[in-house]
Amino acid sequence: MPETFAVAGAGLIGRAWAIVFARAGHRVRLWDGVPAALDAALPLLRANLDDLEAQGLIASAAEVVGRVETVASLGDALDGAAWMQECIAEQVEPKAALFAEADRLAGPTAILASSSSAIAASRFTEELPGRLRCLVAHPVNPPYLVPLVELCPSPWTDKAVVAKARTVMEAVGMVPVSVNREVEGFVLNRLQGALLAEAFKLVADGTISADDLDKTVKDGLGLRWSFMGPFETIDLNAPGGVADYCARYGPFYERLQAEQAPVLAWDADLVTRIEAERRKHLTADRLGERQVWRDRRLMALLRHKKDATDEYGG
């Protein structure tokens, strides 16, 4: 049954969430405190949807955009909404103000979610009467191409709200995961950070070039990780599964951890070297066009994953 989703903030992330909800057949009420942003939103959103239609990822851009309405106030957006997705500036005070207002205006069963990537829900919901229905639902950009969403409750978020949020996110085609503690970076960026830290070190000490390191991931390590996680990967890399793998290679990885422990600041010289190497492959004026390429490749990868899962199982 179609529900109403309120999206607060009509920037890149807000528009992308509007696509997710509308694509799944729901009504979306999109609001932004800056009228000009709201005016620009539907044409921009339509352009993204036309692209998705051209790539065969949705049947009709017109139909999807028809479910999205821009509204003049947060109250209008929340009227009858089952879910609010906040997508405003990444600062505590504006988020706190918006959540206070939303908690006052939203219906009693509505879930209030923030797209925050760095600010934990506890920092802007503690004082609210409805703080138990507030949580972070952190997407990867853009959520209509990358299905993962990290659900990060505060210590006072109701467990039933987290469970319901998982159901809602699954119903709109996302892949929700539960981050049970408020840790900086949640999970995805912590994993990315761990790998990046080692990548910067290996380039810093001359072990490998940045370009060859990229190849090591895209033509090696990253292939399996696009359809299996790291635990399933090692589970299949020893005859007896993950415990067998840890028995064989645990001591090696423990030595590595010790070697990798020292913090390496990404200082100006190191960053300049990597920047210079990247600019040899892609001049700065072509970054935007390469982002379009990336999104095309993501779309093609999504179609591939769907086909491969249909054919071989997930």
Q: Does 287 bind a second copy (CB under 8 A)?
A: yes
Binder to a second copy among 150, 159, 162, 165 (CB under 8 A)?
A: 150
CB of 253 to a second copy, least distance (A): 5
Buried b (16+ CB within 10 A) or exposed e, 1-22: eebbbbbbbbbebbbbbbbbbb
**CB closer to a second copy, 158 vs 235:** 235
DSSP assignment of 3-66: -EEEEE--SHHHHHHHHHHHHTT-EEEEE-SSHHHHHHHHHHHHHHHHHHHHTTSSS-HHHHHT
* Residue closest to 52 by CA, chosen among 302, 311, 309: 302
Query: Please, which of residues 200-219 interact with a second copy by CB under 8 A?
Result: 202, 205-219
CA atoms of 32 and 88, how far apart (whole Å): 8
Q: Does 260 bind a second copy (CB under 8 A)?
A: yes
> Judged by CB under 8 A, how many residues of this single chain contact a second copy?
111
Binder to a second copy among 59, 126, 253, 306 (CB under 8 A)?
A: 253
Binder to a second copy among 2, 35, 272, 306 (CB under 8 A)?
A: 272
Q: Which residues pair with 123 in a beta bridge?
A: none
Q: Does 156 bind a second copy (CB under 8 A)?
A: no
Choices 15-23, 93-101, 153-161, 244-252; region in contact with a second copy by CB under 8 A: 244-252
CB of 3 to a second copy, least distance (A): 23
Q: Tell me the Cα Rg of the chain.
A: 22
**CB closer to a second copy, 30 vs 137:** 137
Q: How many residues does the chain have?
A: 314
CA atoms of 75 and 31, how far apart (whole Å): 9
H-type alpha helices, 173-267: 188-204, 210-216, 222-225, 230-235, 242-260
CA atoms of 219 and 56, how far apart (whole Å): 26
**CB closer to a second copy, 46 vs 224:** 224
Q: Does 223 bind a second copy (CB under 8 A)?
A: yes
**CB closer to a second copy, 171 vs 308:** 308
Q: Does 109 bind a second copy (CB under 8 A)?
A: no
CB of 108 to a second copy, least distance (A): 29
CB of 216 to a second copy, least distance (A): 5
Q: Does 261 bind a second copy (CB under 8 A)?
A: yes
**CB closer to a second copy, 156 vs 253:** 253
Q: How many angstroms from the chain centroid is the CA of residue 37? A: 22
CA atoms of 162 and 152, how far apart (whole Å): 8
Query: Please, which of residues 11-50 interact with a second copy by CB under 8 A?
Result: none
CB of 4 to a second copy, least distance (A): 26
